[in-house]
């Protein structure tokens, strides 16, 4: 079981909290029509409507209950506005986790994703006992790779032709990054 942090995780700029029913409209607003985001996240349907947002929020709650992952809404600490999402998921049973993230288009380029990734990384090590955190980024997604590096992750190598992206009609190479507990600042 993964218990939600109480109080929510924050660095006084961004706050990470669980997804809630009240986030449905904002989630749709963030994702629907964002071609840059959905280019890399091929599992997100377009158009992205209320039904998809409600399903995601229900799944997010289920993930918390089963302890398989911890999906967070990334919010602006001052306004409470939803800026994006970041999540932690267990991979196997050997203390290895994975982090993933996205940010709404108008919030990109300000270091907010890096902040969110650092918060969830520190939490996964300190509270969950994670021993290795992984992050995969499409080899063509330079912005995502920059986030990984700025958040302190080390590039380990390339996973060649590991996934088929139907939206782009191509096999995808993923760059693998990792972070260890001793590397968190």
- Whether the per-residue pLDDT at 1 is higher than 70: the answer is no
Q: What is the pLDDT of residue 110?
A: 96
Q: Yes or no: is domain 9-183 CATH 3.40.630.30?
A: yes
Give me the residue spans of the domains in the chain.
9-183
Q: Please tell me the distance from the alpha carbon of residue 2 to that of residue 78, in angstroms, as a whole number.
A: 27
- Whether the per-residue pLDDT at 43 is higher than 80: the answer is no
Letter string b/e over residues 40-56, b meaning 16 or more CB atoms within 10 A of that residue's CB: beeebeeebeeebbeeb
- Whether the per-residue pLDDT at 107 is higher than 80: the answer is yes
3 backbone dihedrals φ, ψ, rounded to 5°:
-90, 135
From the list 61, 60, 174, 184, the residue with the least C-alpha distance to 133 is: 184
Tell me the per-residue pLDDT of 166-179, one tens digit each, with 9 for 90 and over: 777 889 999 999 99
pTM: 0.94
Average pLDDT rounded to a whole number, residues 75-81: 97
């Amino acid at each position: 079981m993964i218990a939600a942090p109480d109080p929510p995780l924050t660095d006084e700029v961004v706050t990470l909290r669980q997804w809630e029913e009240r986030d449905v409209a904002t989630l749709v607003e963030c994702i629907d029509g964002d071609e840059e985001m959905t280019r890399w996240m091929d599992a997100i349907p377009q158009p992205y409507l209320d039904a998809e947002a409600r399903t995601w929020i229900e799944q997010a709650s289920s993930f918390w209950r089963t302890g398989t992952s911890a999906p967070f809404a990334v919010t602006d600490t001052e306004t409470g506005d939803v800026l994006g999402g970041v999540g932690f998921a267990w991979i196997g049973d050997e203390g290895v986790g994975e982090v993933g993230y996205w940010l709404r288009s108008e919030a990109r380029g300000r270091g907010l994703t890096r902040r969110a990734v650092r918060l969830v990384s520190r939490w996964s090590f300190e509270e969950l006992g994670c021993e290795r955190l992984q992050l995969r980024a499409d080899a063509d997604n330079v912005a995502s790779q920059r986030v990984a590096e700025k958040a302190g992750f080390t590039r380990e190598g390339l996973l060649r032709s590991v996934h088929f992206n139907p939206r782009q009609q191509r096999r995808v190479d993923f760059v693998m990054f990792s972070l260890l507990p001793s590397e968190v600042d």
